[in-house]
């Protein structure tokens, strides 16, 4: 298994050293360390990942509004372990080119790991970014930040628009956040119809997984339970589960394939 979205830090989240034993206990072989909102100092994550670059990669954060944002992306891309930049669907650069930071991510061969909300991902303005940058690999976090119990209670054109982004082969998504976005606890039955729809639209090869280790007060058993949530899904074949639990992340973020053996 490979976790595609782990927050660690010296503040707000637990430190990297706390993650390692829980990671081993759950059978997770590798992980992508993702910078958390409110922090654009990526040195800690880079230092952590550099302890084992075959097993760890970094998705950094850059403030699009800063004057040197593009140069910041260029510098981060020179790191062996930085494989992506995290930003919002609504993120735009200052200056003459509002897509400058998106273009810098594309030019450096990095992944744009994109936050919602779902309404921003569903907006025509975001689709225009996808269409304008066909070589930009995009990962839509947390299944578009869909709140399943809200979608269940009403029509959900925004989720349909999110699914339609799968028409673009460079777009992937991620399964995570069920504890926060479902109205019932594990195994989050209300999410099933939306997970099935995501598999039909994106295919398992464009779905990465996270076990939400960084959720508040998570217990090691709950992290392992997040693996079972995929393994036990009746609508997935074993091959699809393998892709979601690891192979998709290895391919998207360029991790060593040795972690899968």
pLDDT digits (tens, 9 = 90+) for 29-45: 999 999 999 999 999 99
pLDDT score at 155: 67
CA separation for the pair 118, 100 (Å, rounded): 23
**Mean predicted confidence (pLDDT) in 23-34:** 95
Average pLDDT rounded to a whole number, residues 127-137: 98
pLDDT at position 220 over 90: no
**pLDDT by residue (tens digit) across 56-106?**
999 999 999 998 999 999 999 999 999 999 999 999 999 899 999 999 999
Q: Which of 27, 26, 30 is nearest to 224 (CA)?
A: 26
The whole-angstrom separation of Cα 68 and Cα 78 is: 16
3-state SS assignment for residue 67: coil
For position 154, what pLDDT does the model report?
63
Kindly tell me the burial class for residue 41, based on how many C-beta atoms sit within 10 Å of its own C-beta (0-12, 13-18, 19 or more): exposed
Residue 133 has pLDDT above 90, yes or no: yes
Q: Is the pLDDT of residue 257 over 90?
A: no
> Which of 145, 85, 139 minimizes the C-alpha distance to 110?
85
% of the chain with per-residue pLDDT over 90? 85
| Measured distance CA(6)–CA(147) in Å, rounded | 20
Determine which of 85-99, 125-139, 148-162 has the lowest per-residue pLDDT on average.
148-162
Q: How far apart are CA 147 and CA 218, in angstroms?
A: 20
Cis peptide bond upstream of 87, omega within 30: no
Q: Which two three-digit tokens encode residue 112?
A: 């744009």
Domains of the chain: 2-256 (3.20.20.140)
Using an 8 Å Cβ cutoff, are 139 and 113 in contact?
Answer: yes
Q: What is the pLDDT of residue 261?
A: 77
Is residue 52 pLDDT above 70, yes or no?
yes
Q: What is the pLDDT of residue 9?
A: 96
**Which percentage of the chain shows pLDDT scores above 70?**
98
Mind listing the pLDDT tens digit for each residue in 160-185? 999 999 999 999 999 999 988 888 88
13: left (phi over 0), alpha (psi -120 to 50) or beta: beta
Asked if residue 228 has pLDDT above 90, the reply is yes
β-bridge partners, 31: 3, 56
pLDDT of residue 153: 64
Residue 128 has pLDDT above 90, yes or no: yes
- The answer to whether 149 touches 177, Cβ cutoff 8 Å, is no
What is the largest distance, in Å, between two alpha-carbon atoms of the chain?
50
């Amino acid at each position: 298994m490979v976790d595609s979205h782990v927050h660690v830090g010296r503040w707000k989240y637990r430190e990297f050293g706390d993650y390692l034993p829980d990671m081993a206990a759950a059978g997770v072989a590798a992980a992508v360390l993702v910078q958390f909102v409110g922090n654009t100092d990526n040195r800690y994550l880079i230092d952590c990942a550099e302890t084992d670059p075959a097993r760890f990669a970094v998705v950094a954060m850059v403030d699009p509004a800063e004057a040197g944002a593009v140069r910041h992306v260029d510098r981060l891309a020179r790191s062996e372990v930085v494989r992506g930049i995290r930003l919002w669907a609504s993120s735009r650069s200052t200056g003459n080119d509002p897509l400058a930071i998106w273009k810098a991510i594309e030019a450096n061969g990095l992944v744009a790991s994109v936050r919602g909300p779902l309404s921003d991902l569903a907006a025509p303005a975001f689709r225009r970014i996808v269409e304008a940058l066909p070589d930009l690999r995009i990962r839509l976090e947390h299944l578009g930040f869909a709140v399943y119990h809200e979608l269940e209670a009403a029509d959900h054109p925004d989720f349909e628009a999110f699914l339609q982004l799968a028409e673009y082969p460079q777009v992937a998504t991620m399964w995570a956040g069920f504890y926060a976005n479902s109205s019932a606890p594990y195994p989050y039955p209300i999410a099933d119809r939306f997970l099935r729809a995501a598999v039909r639209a994106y295919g398992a090869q464009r779905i990465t997984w996270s076990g939400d280790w960084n959720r508040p007060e998570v217990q090691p058993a709950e992290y392992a339970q997040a693996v079972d949530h995929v393994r036990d899904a009746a609508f997935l074949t074993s091959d699809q589960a393998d892709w979601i639990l690891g192979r998709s992340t290895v391919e998207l973020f360029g991790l060593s394939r040795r972690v899968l053996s």
